Structure 1
Amino acid sequence: MTRTIDQESAEVRPGSGLFLRIVPPGLYAGRARVLVERSFLVYRRAWLSFVSGFFEPLFFLLSLGYGFGRLVTEVEGPGGHLLSYPVFVAPALLAASAMNGAVFDATYNIFFKFKYAKLYDAMLATPLGPLDIAVGEISWALLRGGMYSAAFLSVMLGMGLVTSAWALLALPACLVVAFAFAAVGMAATTFMRSWQDFDLVQLVVLPLFLFSTTFYPLSVYPSAVRTVVTWTPLYHAVELLRGLTTGVPSWSMLGDLVYFAVMAAVGLVIAARRLGTLLLK
């Protein structure tokens, strides 16, 4: 028996049997882009709060990279290469910029929409499903983290802190980092009960920022602490971006990318399931 082209294509279209076996009906309508468009329209009127997140890593670069950097001659970088302190610190602040932009949007903003504005309840009255909401909000957080990263990378280029053509891959790497942090941030937000729980977000983000080889190399730590640091996500982001911007690529970067791929997948699945449980109960 022959099958028509329409019958064959129906097997992979949303609403068909194969697709529904992968994503249950009611969870995904393929319209996550609508949430990205909404966020763009909202922040077009509140652009000052959007761009302010760019200045934090810039101030750290100017104060520590150049201020404290006058007291430090050279620091051991990827592959044992000696780097000037500003060149060592800048890619770490680039990674932190991607993390902060994604985490802020995926926690504070989403919590307000979820708990107080009841925005997602209204969305579920439309064809949108929980997975649409998760993908849309994480995508916007990804774009925000990516914009911060692109702006900071431009500053690095202007200051002569990029020493290799491998830096062309730094922005795509930042997008991977931002997506992973946004997915985990949104998943964590679904477990929060009040604004006081955001102290826990700072309790995680601030130590990551300070101890993930942002301002000094891994070799300064005792061996036990060094092992813990190498498990943290921002450490992998710093190592990935530092290797690209200084022109010292290595096979370990593939492991860093796999780390963030797993992190993003786990965060997205948990966020979608938690939203479905909380909003459709």
Structure 2
Amino acid sequence: MDLKVLGLLAVQESGTPIVPTAAPTRQLLALLAAHADHIVPTAVLTQELWPEGAPRHAQEMVETYVRQLRELIDDALDVRREETTAAAAGPRTAREVLVSLSGGYRLGTGGGTSDVRMFQRAVGAGYRAMELEDYRTAAERLGQALELWTADAYTGVLAGPHLRAHGARLEQSRLRALDLWVEAQRRLGRRHELYAGLSVFLSRFRSSPPEYEALVAELERGPEREPVGRPYETVGRSYEPVPAVRVGSLLHSLRHSLPTRHRAPVAG
């Protein structure tokens, strides 16, 4: 099973989409995907679906949503069965994909892909490169991580308290990666890559940190005509999100230290 949550929710089994059209069933799938390969207690599913208090027949309703998901999984597996020869091992069943356990359910990916896991691996490599002051590798790996985001996490899903909390943690990780990517590009002196990449990364989301909106606007205006060769101001090595007070240093450094080039359409 392949999972994508860094944007529109997309779940596939054997290449066939599983994302349901009914809002509650899609919300249930999103929460199971957020904790893929781990059991999600029924109480957590109930809190997610009915944060203001579960209805009288909440348990039966959850079971109905699970049954709807399994029907979609069965449809996907039927496509796979048609492609499977008699000599080959058959695909798993819907109940093996969406497992009922004591007190909850588990969505088993069966070793499939996850954009969250890919993001975490790329970000980890970027952090290590920053520690080694290998800014070229850091910019590349952090850029790859940020490219995985096509919109806000779980776009198109009605989010309750648990999905909102998970989405907020993912967003914090994205902004931290963006901070480091900006810093790596700054240290490499890549003004046009910084402008192009930051413009793309910010355009994909409903809202963006105002400090980065200001940075894009400043980069779009171009460097002021002042003496060249002024040193960078220290931005610091903290890997915490860049606060607004540091943006002045970023703008000052970019204005006086980066060369002016033609704009590039893709960030490196």
Do Structure 1 and Structure 2 share a fold, with TM-score over 0.5? Answer: no
With a CA cutoff of 8 Å and minimum separation of 6, indicate the structure with the bigger relative contact order.
1
> Greater CA radius of gyration, 1 or 2?
2
Q: What interval of TM-score do these two structures reach, taking the shorter chain for normalisation?
A: under 0.3
Q: Tell me which protein shows more helix as a share of its residues.
A: 1
Q: Tell me which protein shows more strand as a share of its residues.
A: 2
| TM-score, reference length from structure 1 | 0.22
